[in-house]
Structure 1
Amino acid sequence: MNEFYLAMDLGGTSIKSALFTSDFSLVAENRLETNAHEGAEIVLKRMILSLNQLLASSQITPSQIKSLGVGVPGLLDRHAGISIFSPNFQNWENVPVAALLERELGIATFIDNDVRMNLYGECQFGSGQDKKNVVLLTLGTGLGAGVMIDGNVLYGTTGSVGEIGHMNMYRQGRECRCGSSGCLGRYVSALGLLRTVREKIQAGQQSILSEWVNHDLTQLTAQQVSKAYDEKDSVALAAFKETGEILGFGLANVINLYNPETIIIGGGMSAAGERLLATTRETVSAHALQLSQATCNIVLASLGDAAGMYGAAFYAKRESS
């Protein structure tokens, strides 16, 4: 009998589920809106719905599934299968995700942080293949990171290794939901970039972006800023330069601390590519330790938004073997 693995990447806006063979060939995938604003109970129901739809469309029964891997944002106890807290969901504290899914589906379930699942995915099947010292950053709504050193993914005492997004870049800067201020993720993220653009326009700088959103700056998107950059808009050019520079200082610290051979940039904002990374590379070159930076490549993730699903499948197979 063929053996299959289920994988899920639980996001703030979408639930991505996939079915894989034992050699990690993708059989099928399913995507649903998370409906995070409706609370934990609804999110859990939609997770189960997503997996049931996937199994039904693939004509696979739960008895054919060896295990399920789930990437969950936020703090968690992966050994107990409990999601302790996630900033993406309302009324979400100490949720026994693994136990609930096992009870509903009858499938052994293993959870880990969503960014580490991305790291597993890229290191096994993407831009980190054959590398042993890798730091992955996901630049999306916020900034997440995972760290692999000497072939081992690092966790730490509370599973919090790699909170690079909360590296303090300014003694007193933009307030962060973590309770501190000046955190890297408040500047280097889609929301951070948009805030930088809005601050410049509100300070009186002229930009084509204002016209594109009829002067309603709350409607701006990171994609629009990239487009304005390509049209040589001065605000977009300056915003990307500042954001790339701050990311460069952050990555200089990362290189000095972890000595990786590869830094992978993923997440939705990675689509900005060299608009962002050109300045980042210049800043790293000027400020990171020369020996360490000379052996470190900064590259883009290659699996796109499927990295978390591939990583969760790999994790499920490893944990259940």
Structure 2
Amino acid sequence: MKPYLIGIDLGGTNIKAAIFDEEFKAVQELSIPTEASAGSAHVLARIREAVHLLTVRTNITLDLVKAMGIGIPGLLDPVAGISIFSPNFPDWDYVPIIDEMKLYYDFPIYIDNDVRVNLYGEWQHGAGRGYANLVLITLGTGLGSGMVSDGKVIYGTSYSAGEIGHMNMYRHGRPCRCGSSGCLGRYVSAIGMVNTLKEKLAEGRSSIIQKWTESQNDRITALMISEAYDRDDALSIEVMRETGEMLGFGLANVINMFNPERIIVGGGMAAAGDRLLNTVRDTVQQHALKLSSSKCSIVQAELGSQAGTLGAASYAWKKMDVKSNV
């Protein structure tokens, strides 16, 4: 019987789960509520429920599962199998994910940060195929990132390398939950872009978005800014351009420091596409080292919502391959 791999993408709202064959073709995919407020033990039980549903719906028994990978937001120790802290999960400090899961499964289980798991997916199966030096950034409520250098994912001393979102862009800027201020992710993210628009509205500027929201600024979304951009709304065009410039300056620093061949932009805000990325590319071209920037392409991610589960399965497969060759 052929082996299967399970990939889990743990989110604050939903758990995405999928089972793949050895060619990484999805046999079954599903999503169930995380119910994070109920605490870590309950969330782990929800992951097991997702695995159970996968096996029931596919008639694939657990003895045919070769490994499982889990992508988890926040800080973790992938070697010890411990999730140290996750910002959107109550009762979630030093959770021994792998030890808890080993009580229920005989196959190997591996965990990693959710963005690095997405990186594995795009690197092996998406926009990063064939590249040995690349960077993935995910633009959503925040800015996450992961890096591959000379064919190896960079982890760093505390497994937190590549935190581009916390690159300081302003000495005295917007406060960040990391304890600093002026971090790139406070400006280049869905929330950051919305806050930029709100600041300009507070100065007395106007936008078609005010009509859409009946001037209730708490209803403004990043998607609205993209839609208003397409309607030639001057303020939305300005906000999109400023956001793209800020990201461009950040990525110019990344290019100068790491010399990647490709930068992949994923996450929900990446749907803005060339509205955002054209300004990013222009800014990089003007401010990054010429030789380095000429060798680096900036593109949208390809895998969409499947990046997390496919990446988690790919990560598990890679970890098993490494262990088998030790």
SS at match of 2:110: strand
1:314 aligns with 2:310: no
Counterpart mapping for 1:1-16 below 5 A: 1-16=1-16
Report the CA distance between 1:149 and its aligned residue. 0.6
SS at match of 2:104: helix
Report the CA distance between 1:83 and its aligned residue. 0.3
Which one is further off, 201-210 or 78-87? 201-210
Counterpart mapping for 1:142-161 below 5 A: 142-161=142-161
C-alpha distance in 2 between matches for 1:216 and 1:106: 53
Report the CA distance between 1:46 and its aligned residue. 1.6
Query: Could you say which residue in structure 1 is the equivalent of 2:133?
Result: 133
Query: Could you say which residue in structure 2 is the equivalent of 1:60?
Result: 60
Query: Could you say which residue in structure 2 is the equivalent of 1:77?
Result: 77
1:26 aligns with 2:26: yes
Query: Could you say which residue in structure 1 is the equivalent of 2:114?
Result: 114
Report the CA distance between 1:189 and its aligned residue. 0.4
1:305 aligns with 2:326: no
Q: CA RMSD in A?
A: 1.1
The number of residue pairs the alignment matches comes to: 321
SS at match of 2:18: strand
C-alpha distance in 1 between matches for 2:305 and 2:118: 9
Report the CA distance between 1:102 and its aligned residue. 2.3
C-alpha distance in 2 between matches for 1:269 and 1:15: 20
Report the CA distance between 1:40 and its aligned residue. 2.2
1:39-88 deviations in Å (ceiling 9; x for gaps): 32332222221111111111111111111000111111101110001112
Query: Could you say which residue in structure 1 is the equivalent of 2:167?
Result: 167
Tell whether the 8 Å contact from 1:6 to 1:68 is kept in structure 2 after alignment: yes
Counterpart mapping for 1:277-296 below 5 A: 277-296=277-296
C-alpha distance in 2 between matches for 1:94 and 1:316: 21
Report the CA distance between 1:90 and its aligned residue. 1.3
SS at match of 2:60: coil
Residue type of the alignment partner of 1:133: N
Where structure 1 has 5 or more consecutive residues not aligned to the other structure, the ranges are none
SS at match of 1:105: coil
Report the CA distance between 1:115 and its aligned residue. 0.7
Report the CA distance between 1:33 and its aligned residue. 2.1
Report the CA distance between 1:175 and its aligned residue. 0.5
Report the CA distance between 1:198 and its aligned residue. 1.2
Residue type of the alignment partner of 1:116: R
Query: Could you say which residue in structure 2 is the equivalent of 1:269?
Result: 269
Query: Could you say which residue in structure 1 is the equivalent of 2:247?
Result: 247
Query: Could you say which residue in structure 1 is the equivalent of 2:324?
Result: none
1:1-60 deviations in Å (ceiling 9; x for gaps): 221111101112221101011121111111112222333233222222111111111111
Query: Could you say which residue in structure 2 is the equivalent of 1:260?
Result: 260
1:203 aligns with 2:215: no
C-alpha distance in 2 between matches for 1:258 and 1:179: 26
SS at match of 1:265: strand
Query: Could you say which residue in structure 1 is the equivalent of 2:48?
Result: 48
C-alpha distance in 1 between matches for 2:123 and 2:243: 26
C-alpha distance in 2 between matches for 1:219 and 1:36: 24
C-alpha distance in 2 between matches for 1:43 and 1:161: 27
C-alpha distance in 2 between matches for 1:260 and 1:55: 40
1:199-220 deviations in Å (ceiling 9; x for gaps): 1112211111111112211111
Query: Could you say which residue in structure 2 is the equivalent of 1:231?
Result: 231
SS at match of 1:144: strand
C-alpha distance in 2 between matches for 1:201 and 1:112: 40
Query: Could you say which residue in structure 2 is the equivalent of 1:181?
Result: 181
C-alpha distance in 1 between matches for 2:141 and 2:106: 34
Tell whether the 8 Å contact from 1:248 to 1:280 is kept in structure 2 after alignment: yes
Tell whether the 8 Å contact from 1:265 to 1:298 is kept in structure 2 after alignment: yes
Where structure 2 has 5 or more consecutive residues not aligned to the other structure, the ranges are 322-326
Residue type of the alignment partner of 2:137: L
Report the CA distance between 1:91 and its aligned residue. 1.7
Tell whether the 8 Å contact from 1:66 to 1:320 is kept in structure 2 after alignment: no
Residue type of the alignment partner of 2:130: D
C-alpha distance in 2 between matches for 1:118 and 1:221: 24
Q: Structure 1's 21 and 251: CA in aligned 2 closer, same or farther, altered over 3 A?
A: same
SS at match of 1:12: coil
C-alpha distance in 1 between matches for 2:99 and 2:60: 22
